[in-house]
Amino acid sequence: MGTLDDGRAKVQRLLVSGDTRLKQGVATAKVRESYLAALEAAREAGLEDAVRPLVELRLADLDTREAEAPPPVPPAA
């Protein structure tokens, strides 16, 4: 497998990881970390132009989810 194929595979793994984390209810900071890592991997592989719109959509969705999320319940006294 060539470098470009390796880069694509890494980007795909990171995007899927972020999507899976999101579906499992993992903290949005961890989900965001996966998406930003995918963007960085895309940049390193020369795929940023193709991947950036996908990551931006996912990050915008995270921002919306965070804005709409109810505040955390304070711990019992």
Q: Which domain holds residue 19?
A: 3-68
Residue 77 within any structural domain of the chain = no
Residue 74 within any structural domain of the chain = no
Rounded Cα–Cα distance for residues 49 and 31 (Å)? 21
Residue 76 within any structural domain of the chain = no
Residue 48 within any structural domain of the chain = yes
Rounded Cα–Cα distance for residues 24 and 10 (Å)? 21
Top pLDDT among 2 and 3 is at 3
pTM reported for the whole predicted model: 0.84
Rounded Cα–Cα distance for residues 4 and 50 (Å)? 13
Q: In this predicted structure, what is the pLDDT of residue 76?
A: 78
Residue 60 within any structural domain of the chain = yes
Q: Write the DSSP symbol of residue 25.
A: T
Rounded Cα–Cα distance for residues 77 and 65 (Å)? 28
What is the count of structural domains for the chain? 1
Residue 75 within any structural domain of the chain = no
Q: For residue range 4-57, list pLDDT tens digits in order.
A: 889 999 999 999 999 999 999 999 999 999 999 999 999 999 999 999 999 999
